[in-house]
Amino acid sequence: MNLRQLRQFVTLAETGNFHRAAEQLHMAQPPLSVSIRKLEEELGSALFERTTMGVVLTPAGQAMLADARQALQHAEQCRQAVHDARTGEGGLVRLGIIGSATFALLPELIPSFRARYPKIELELSEATSSEILDGLITRRFDAGLLRYPVLHPNGCEILPLDRDDFVLAVSEQSPLAQREAIALSEAANEPFIMYPADKVPGLAALAMMRCQFSGFAPRVAQKAMQVQTIMSLVASGLGVGLVASVSRLMMPRGIRCLSLSDNPRGFTSASRWPCGQTATRAPWSISPGTRCVFPPCRATTGAIRTARSRAGPHQRAPTGNHSVVIFFTLVIA
């Protein structure tokens, strides 16, 4: 039994006539009769009763009809699923994300993605930057949302999506909390909650570089890889921390985030990399199911900029031309 025979059986059952069934199937009547007879022999039961007016289903044929239709439907679904996966319109995309991607970027990207690619199943997994990069190498992830710079891209393709700036998180009990903005150099004597270089190497390097551009090496009191943890430690009075300004959207009680007024004019390594530009090309082809992430992300970048420009001052990140800029990037295996 094969799909061709099942299709012939269903067509004959629906038309009740070998001649009309053969016409619909674009075949001659004798081969159709032979095929149905072979199917009946294989099943060991007559499926049709021949009459002068045509054919009618036997009880065995009636029992088989619903399942035959369902089998043909499933076969068509299989074909469509393969077609969608091949063309990038369907399939599964496994996306690794860092925690801060959930603050603003992900809620803006996902609706656009799902509207454009409703047949694609999106599997999200929260992980550290290092875990995401390892997952891209081992093919656990198809793509990842993490912070730029990506120190070891390992041949992955990198697409900048959105930019942000550092702010200084301080406890409300700190004398610094009375300020709206601060030169980072004024906090040089404060203990800092920093990022562990082995877990989030890019962000750790940026935070350390930002301090050095203000003329000091921070005194590291604690290390934490999650922004929420850093803010909790800051609220506990253990030190101050450099966090992305988007963290203000999820700021816990007892925290103030101060804009930085001493952005170094000489620093341009990240701030001149335009959003939407491809930085590195992968040495192998990208699967269609993964490649389809690019169009909605490129389109949504403009929507994000528009939404941010209309946001209030508590939501919009300060954007100096020469600041140490934090990029969100999409990294493709």
Q: Which of 33-47, 104-118, 192-206, 252-266 has the highest mean pLDDT?
A: 33-47
Helix H or strand E encompassing 91 = strand 91-97
In degrees, to the nearest 5, what angle opens at C-alpha 256 toward C-alphas 251 and 260?
A: 110
Spatial distance between the Cα atoms of 107 and 188, rounded to a whole number of angstroms: 35
Q: Do 296 and 226 sit in the same domain of this protein?
A: no
Spatial distance between the Cα atoms of 158 and 162, rounded to a whole number of angstroms: 12
Q: What is the mean pLDDT of the chain?
A: 77
Strand partners, 260: 182
Is 212 part of a structural domain of the chain?
yes
- For residue 108, what is the domain's CATH number? 3.40.190.10
Q: Which two tokens stand for residue 169?
A: 């998180």
pLDDT band at residue 247, thresholds of 50, 70 and 90? confident
Q: Report, as an integer, the average pLDDT of 86-96.
A: 77
Report which of residues 78 and 321 the model is more confident about: 78
Pairing relationship of beta strands 157-171 and 191-194 according to DSSP bridges: unpaired
Is 288 part of a structural domain of the chain?
yes
Is 186 part of a structural domain of the chain?
yes
148: nearest Cα among 200, 95, 226, 225: 200
Is 146 part of a structural domain of the chain?
yes
Q: Do 130 and 203 sit in the same domain of this protein?
A: no
C-alpha separations of 259 from 13, 238, 246 in Å: 75, 20, 12
C-alpha separations of 227 from 106, 173, 191, 223 in Å: 16, 20, 17, 11
Is 182 part of a structural domain of the chain?
yes
Q: How many folded domains does the chain comprise? A: 3
Contact residues for 144 (Cβ-Cβ < 8 A; gap 6+): 95, 96, 97, 127, 132, 133, 135, 136, 330, 331
Q: Do 235 and 149 sit in the same domain of this protein?
A: no
Helices (H), the chain: 3-15, 18-24, 29-43, 59-87, 105-116, 129-137, 201-213, 227-235, 288-291, 294-310
- Of 21, 52, 84, the position where a domain reaches its end is 84
Find the domain containing 246 and state its range.
163-260
Are 19 and 8 in contact, with CB atoms under 8 Å apart? no
Is 272 part of a structural domain of the chain?
no
282-314 per-position pLDDT tens digit: 322 233 333 344 444 433 333 333 333 433 333
Is 269 part of a structural domain of the chain?
no
CB contact burial 237-266 (16+ within 10 A = b; e otherwise) = ebbbbbbbbbbbeebeebbbbbbbebbbee
Are 316 and 163 in contact, with CB atoms under 8 Å apart? no
At 194, give phi and psi (nearest 5°): -115, 175
Cα first-last separation, the chain: 42
Contact residues for 302 (Cβ-Cβ < 8 A; gap 6+): none
pLDDT band at residue 128, thresholds of 50, 70 and 90? confident
- Of 69, 84, 99, the position where a domain reaches its end is 84
39-80 per-position pLDDT tens digit: 999 999 999 999 888 899 999 999 999 999 999 999 998 888
- For residue 22, what is the domain's CATH number? 1.10.10.10
